[in-house]
Amino acid sequence: MNMNELFSEAQAISSPQLRDDIVQQLYSRSRELCDVGVSYTKTKADTRTEKLDAIFTSKIWGFPIMLIMLGVVFYLTIAGANIPSSMLAEFFGWLEGYITSVFQFLHAPDWLHGILVLGLYRGSTWVISVMLPPMAIFFPTFALLENYGYLPRVAFNMDRLFKFVGAHGKQSLTMAMGFGCNAAAVMSSRIIESPRERMLAILTNNFVPCNGRWGILIVLASLFMAANFTGGFKLLVTTGVIVGIVLFGIVVTFFVSWALSKTLLKGVPTHYTLELPPYRRPKFFDTVIRSSLTKSWTVLVRAVKVAAPAAILTWVLANIHIGDTSILLHMVEFLDPFGKMLGLDGYIMLAFILGLPANEIVLPILLMGYLSTGSLTEVDSLVDLKQIFLDHGWTWVTALNVMLFSLLHYPCGTTLVNIYKETKSKKWTFLAFLIPTVLAIVVPFIVYQTAKLLGWV
């Protein structure tokens, strides 16, 4: 007799209410155990959590508070990251001078200096100076909110919206994970019981920007969107633009979830219980150290691991010539007409294609492409950076469309691999690639054509 036969035999004698009886018995035994093993010395329950919940999850204040929290986190990140970022960039530039001297001293060939210093070194240090400071602020701030117990309240507030579009309320938790890393968030969708709603969460997770995309979003927002403002106001505008982009991503998440749940993934959202844990004061020091050092470090190591080979590849592509133009330029020219339709250009398209392994490297590759030498110039200040873009015909619409493309486009390689692992389906993995890609083409196209029609560009 094998297990399948035993299963059928058990099913034959089982009854529909057996599960209920089992669960009920487990619960009543738990109650009996508590009756004898637990006693209460205070009769008055602690109402602090209830009082806070009345504010944080209130119908009136819930959403404004969420928006403010989001804004504050980004504001702190952007405001705090500026100075350390430029300090790091200066430091790496200063160090590069010495490294170059060593190469000259050793009479190293030019191509070696090109690959190692102008490609590898500049590529990776750029990623470090742009990404490390924002991450070191964003992660701890977010972790503090998380450990305090605010995230489940966000899920609670968003629940109705998700239900409305036919998705699961817990999708807001996986969405929140996505702000850190989409690849991790795809795995975290395991908390959603129903396969249908889990698939919705997986397919739409990409529409929240992960830390690999913060860099490009923050840089472009502060360079182009807040260009006419100065001082504190500039920071506010930049923050506003970032919050706007994030909100747009959330709107797209709702829209795509809704469209899918009406077509490919038809169904009614299942009920679930969401636990609202008590608010706990986070262990401040532990949380900050753990998330800023450990988490930033792991993310950074990953970024550099991908950035280093990508930087070398870009350098090689830009310096090997077929005919009288480099391979890089051939590719750019091929992609240019398509990019132009979206208000972008061939360099930008190529950067996003080469950036498939990790979103972190899109901006460095783009810069390397723009500079005729094929290596990243020392970008000591953001003003230098803006000049490079302006020299290649950028307007604020270009910047906006790059941000939109970055927000909406296909998930990075790691995320796609995770989607395949979680869904075990080539079809769904392909859809997870296709849906964002189509959106990333359509939305900038509409924006650019509208802007052209209205005579803005």
Residues interacting with another protein, by CB under 8 A? 1-4, 6-7, 9-11, 13-15, 18-19, 21-23, 25-27, 29-31, 33-34, 36-42, 45-46, 143, 146-149, 151-152, 155, 170, 173, 187-188, 190-193, 198, 273-275, 277-280, 282-283, 290-291, 294-295
- As a whole number of angstroms, the distance between CA 245 and CA 404 comes to 8
- For the bound state, the minimum distance from the C-beta of residue 267 to another protein, rounded and expressed in Å, comes to 16
- Nearer to another protein (CB atom), residue 125 or residue 418: 418
Q: Which residue's CB is nearer to another protein, number 250 or number 299?
A: 299
CA-based nearest residue to 172, from 138, 147, 148, 208: 208
Closest contact distance (angstroms) between CB of 190 and another protein is 4
Q: Report the 10 Å Cβ neighbour count for 187.
A: 17
Closest to another protein by CB, 31 or 426: 31
Q: How far apart are CA 51 and CA 68, in angstroms?
A: 20
CB of 45 to another protein, least distance (A): 8
Close Cβ partners of 283 (under 8 Å, ≥ 6 residues apart): 147
- Minimal distance, residue 227 CB to another protein, in Å: 37
The token pair at 15 is 């009854």
Residues in the chain: 457
Helices of type H across 205-266: 211-220, 231-262
Residue 198 host element (H or E): helix 195-204
Q: CB-wise, 113 or 168, nearer to another protein?
A: 168
CB closer to another protein, 2 vs 230: 2
**CB 269 to another protein: min, Å:** 15
β-strand partners of 326: 321
Q: What does residue 384 show for φ and ψ, rounded to 5 degrees?
A: -55, -45
Of 124 and 174, which CB lies nearer to another protein in the complex structure?
174
Q: How far apart are CA 97 and CA 380, in angstroms?
A: 13
Question: Could you tell me if 335 and 349 are in contact, meaning their C-beta atoms sit under 8 angstroms apart?
Answer: yes
Q: How far is the CB of 282 from another protein (least distance, A)?
A: 8
| Least distance between another protein and beta carbon 75 (Å) | 22
Distance between CA atoms of 243 and 68, rounded to whole angstroms? 10
Nearer CB in complex with another protein: 201/407: 201
CB atoms within 10 A of CB 344: 25
